[in-house]
């Protein structure tokens, strides 16, 4: 009988643990949260007190800076982080661009013709493809809501500047702890300090306030993750897409004084212009004029085939026949009347330190208080596949470059799924064996007794009432979007 009691207790303990896991509202899969704070230059966190970012550095790993992709603009880099591909490979070669096959210009549309070139596999979608019960979410991530391979992340929130940073955190947490569809991989985006950096410059008092805002939002995120019992379970990455440099008064390159504007089209914004001659036969004339002017001006010019290989910005039809690249701190524009007076800019060469963004990571996979050597942002893709324990899709990144930041004890995360055959098999064996023992014990006990005791159980009082079901993802999304706190 003692054996039976031990088996029974083990069985009940197993059941309790299992149901605790199921009912906890957390995904059973490895959890990853990537936060991008746009235009957060690698050294900003030393400009003002940033206790929360420093706490994460102390508890995790950080790089002095991270190398981003050319051009150092928002859309190409956010898509590179998501796909592990250089701009020439994923096809988002600028915030604006022209596609000669589509014969269209792009300015941020999320349609597949721009984002889905047939071989991109954003990590959020790779996560969902790995297992039907994995759930991804994107909170305003640039390009995150694009339809690729006819898929989108399960949770989507299109960019809306009126939703405060804290509200975004609240919604993301609600996705992570959602009882029906808990997310295990989320990308979260904040548009500062980039916006303020453009207007006031990277050394302004105004941008310091935004750096503090980002830091306090990270503090709020840490608090919420702790409350949700997620802080120790989840791998958290805080990064940015690019840096920012000062634009001194008068650092304008007035292209109309160099080249007749009726001779060409420009399909991307300063400081890198993609130039397409109106008359293809005049390509050499245009190039020669620009080349001569570049000797006395602050820019470089390349024919498409001359662009250095290291730019990884050549082999794509959306890169135009001539590329003009302004020197650091200089702006390209047709003429001075177009100048809006901005004090900060980015998009310059990705070898410039001022263009390099922030990287911090903390969680069970990462070492503690560790400084990792700078690496390429495309290396994050294989790293994230590894962290999520999914198939590593082809990319331009290298896992080898980022492995030193990982705690070796987290070499291969154990992926526990309620639905995997192993768990179901173990449960079935336990249920059958314990039931057999219990039935045997019951028969033995009954044979010793004359009287049978019955207990009436009102199942309605024992079984928990099921939660209100949500009929569609839209309803769920609507519910999650409801209720907001203070504005920031
Ligand atoms: Zn910007």
End-to-end CA distance of the chain: 64
Instruction: Give percent helix, percent strand, percent coil of the chain, each to the nearest 5.
Output: 40, 15, 45
Structure token digits, residue 343: 């004090």
The mean pLDDT of 206-229, rounded to a whole number, is 98
C-alpha 480 to ligand 1 mean position (Å)? 29
Write the DSSP symbol of residue 378: G
Q: Per the residue annotation, which of 50, 74, 83, 196 is the catalytic one?
A: 74
Q: Which residues contact 301 (CB under 8 A, 6 or more apart)?
A: 287, 290, 291, 294, 322, 323, 324, 325
pLDDT of 403-444, one tens digit each? 999 998 875 544 444 444 444 555 566 666 666 666 666 555
C-alpha 193 to ligand 1 mean position (Å)? 9
> Distances in Å between the alpha carbon of 91 and those of 104, 162, 245, 296?
14, 30, 26, 33
pLDDT of 371-382, one tens digit each? 999 999 999 999
CB-CB contact of 236 with 33 (8 Å):
yes
C-alpha 199 to ligand 1 mean position (Å)? 10
Question: Rg of the chain over CA atoms, in angstroms?
Answer: 28
Which residue has 């003692």 as its token pair? 2
Range from 272-281, 422-431, 476-485 carrying the lowest mean pLDDT: 476-485
pLDDT given at position 425? 56
Structure token digits, residue 132: 């039907």
pLDDT given at position 431? 60
74 in active site: yes
C-alpha 223 to ligand 1 mean position (Å)? 29
The mean pLDDT of 226-241, rounded to a whole number, is 98
Q: Cα-flanking dihedrals φ and ψ of residue 51, to 5°? A: -60, -30
pLDDT given at position 340? 82
pLDDT of 132-178, one tens digit each? 999 999 999 999 999 999 999 999 999 999 999 999 999 999 999 99
pLDDT of 446-460, one tens digit each? 554 443 332 232 323
pLDDT of 245-262, one tens digit each? 999 988 999 999 999 999
Residue 364 has pLDDT above 70, yes or no: yes
C-alpha 78 to ligand 1 mean position (Å)? 12
The mean pLDDT of 326-343, rounded to a whole number, is 92
CB-CB contact of 240 with 357 (8 Å):
yes
Q: Which residues contact 196 (CB under 8 A, 6 or more apart)?
A: 204, 206, 207, 209, 210
Residue 17 has pLDDT above 80, yes or no: no
Q: Which residues contact 99 (CB under 8 A, 6 or more apart)?
A: 105, 106, 113, 114, 317, 318
Residue 39 has pLDDT above 60, yes or no: yes
Q: Cα-flanking dihedrals φ and ψ of residue 343, to 5°? A: -105, -10
pLDDT given at position 450? 41
């Amino acid at each position: 009988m003692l054996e039976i009691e031990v088996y029974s207790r083990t069985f009940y303990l197993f059941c309790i643990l299992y149901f605790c896991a199921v009912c906890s509202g957390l995904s059973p899969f490895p959890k990853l949260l990537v936060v991008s704070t746009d235009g957060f230059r690698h050294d900003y966190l030393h400009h003002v007190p940033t206790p929360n970012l420093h706490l994460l550095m102390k508890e995790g790993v950080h790089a002095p800076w991270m190398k981003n992709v050319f051009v150092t603009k928002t859309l190409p880099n956010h898509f590179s982080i998501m796909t592990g591909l250089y701009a020439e490979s994923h096809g988002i070669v600028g915030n604006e661009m022209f596609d000669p096959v589509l014969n269209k210009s792009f300015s941020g549309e999320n349609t597949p013709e721009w984002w889905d070139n047939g071989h991109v596999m954003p990590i959020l979608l790779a996560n969902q493809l790995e297992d039907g019960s994995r759930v991804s979410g994107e909170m305003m991530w640039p390009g995150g809501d694009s339809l690729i391979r006819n898929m989108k992340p399960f949770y989507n929130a299109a960019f809306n500047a009126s939703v405060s940073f804290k509200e975004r955190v609240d919604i993301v947490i609600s996705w992570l702890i959602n009882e029906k569809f808990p997310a295990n991989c989320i990308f979260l985006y904040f548009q500062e300090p980039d916006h303020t950096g453009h207007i006031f410059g990277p050394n302004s008092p105004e941008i310091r306030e935004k750096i503090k805002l980002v830091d306090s939002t990270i503090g709020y995120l840490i608090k919420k993750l702790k409350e949700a019992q997620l802080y120790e379970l989840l791998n958290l990455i805080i990064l940015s897409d690019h840096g920012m440099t000062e634009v001194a008064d008068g650092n304008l390159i007035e292209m109309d004084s160099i080249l007749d504007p009726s001779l060409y089209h420009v399909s991307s914004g300063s400081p890198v212009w993609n130039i397409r001659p109106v008359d293809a036969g005049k390509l050499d004339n245009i190039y020669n004029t620009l080349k001569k002017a570049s000797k006395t001006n602050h820019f470089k010019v390349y024919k498409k085939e001359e662009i250095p290989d290291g730019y990884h910005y050549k082999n794509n039809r959306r890169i135009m026949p001539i590329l003009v690249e302004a020197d650091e701190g200089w702006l390209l524009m047709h003429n001075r009347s177009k100048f809006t007076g901005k004090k900060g800019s980015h998009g310059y060469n990705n070898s410039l330190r001022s263009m390099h963004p922030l990287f911090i990571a903390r969680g069970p996979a990462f070492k503690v208080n560790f400084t990792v050597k700078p690496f390429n942002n495309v290396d994050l893709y294989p790293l994230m596949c590894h962290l999520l324990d999914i198939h590593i899709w082809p990319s331009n990144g290298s896992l080898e470059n980022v492995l030193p930041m990982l705690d070796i004890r987290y070499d291969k995360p154990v992926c526990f799924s309620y639905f995997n055959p192993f768990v179901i098999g173990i449960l079935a064996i336990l249920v059958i064996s314990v039931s057999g023992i219990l039935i045997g014990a019951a028969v033995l006990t009954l044979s010793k007794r004359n009287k049978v005791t019955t207990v009436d159980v009102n199942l309605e009082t024992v079984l928990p009432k099921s939660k209100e079901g949500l009929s569609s993802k839209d309803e769920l999304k609507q519910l999650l979007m409801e209720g907001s706190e203070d504005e920031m």
